[in-house]
Amino acid sequence: SQQGEEDPQALSIQEGENATMNCSYKTSINNLQWYRQNSGRGLVHLILIRSNEREKHSGRLRVTLDTSKKSSSLLITASRAADTASYFCATWWGGNTPLVFGKGTRLSVIA
């Protein structure tokens, strides 16, 4: 399969702690995107990082991309109960190819 794989599959932390999720992929990509999904609803875009970028920030979110290791990580700092959701990475290889999603990491933030 060409899809990215998130690790861990599930993560449970206390409010205020940081959460780190990883995504690995097998084929060189053009961009990688992270999305959040709350309880069976639609996905919400978090960050898009291109293959020539190494790090991007958005509020409490930090995404890194290591193309030599074919991996990305999503860091959520100072987690809140409202961050409880599933987080997906999606990869795009360029050209006329689709955006392919991994199976996600389920994050539980306990108040």
Partner 1 sequence: KAGVTQTPRYLIKTRGQQVTLSCSPISGHRSVSWYQQTPGQGLQFLFEYFSETQRNKGNFPGRFSGRQFSNSRSEMNVSTLELGDSALYLCASSLSGAEETQYFGPGTRLLVL
| Contacting residues toward partner 1, per CB under 8 A | 3, 30-31, 33, 35, 40-45, 48, 88, 90, 92, 94, 96-104
For 50, residues 6+ apart whose C-beta sits below 8 A from its C-beta are 30, 31
39: left (phi over 0), alpha (psi -120 to 50) or beta: left
Smallest gap from residue 62 Cβ to partner 1 (A): 18
| Nearer to partner 1 (CB atom), residue 14 or residue 96 | 96
Smallest gap from residue 15 Cβ to partner 1 (A): 27
| Nearer to partner 1 (CB atom), residue 68 or residue 96 | 96
- How much is the CA Rg of the chain, to the nearest whole Å? 13
Smallest gap from residue 79 Cβ to partner 1 (A): 23
For 110, residues 6+ apart whose C-beta sits below 8 A from its C-beta are 12, 13, 14, 15, 81
- Distance, in Å, from the CA atom of 53 to the CA atom of 64, rounded to the nearest integer, reads 8
| Nearer to partner 1 (CB atom), residue 33 or residue 71 | 33
| Nearer to partner 1 (CB atom), residue 16 or residue 98 | 98
Q: Tell which residue, 1, 68, 60, has the closest CA to residue 36.
A: 60
Smallest gap from residue 111 Cβ to partner 1 (A): 26
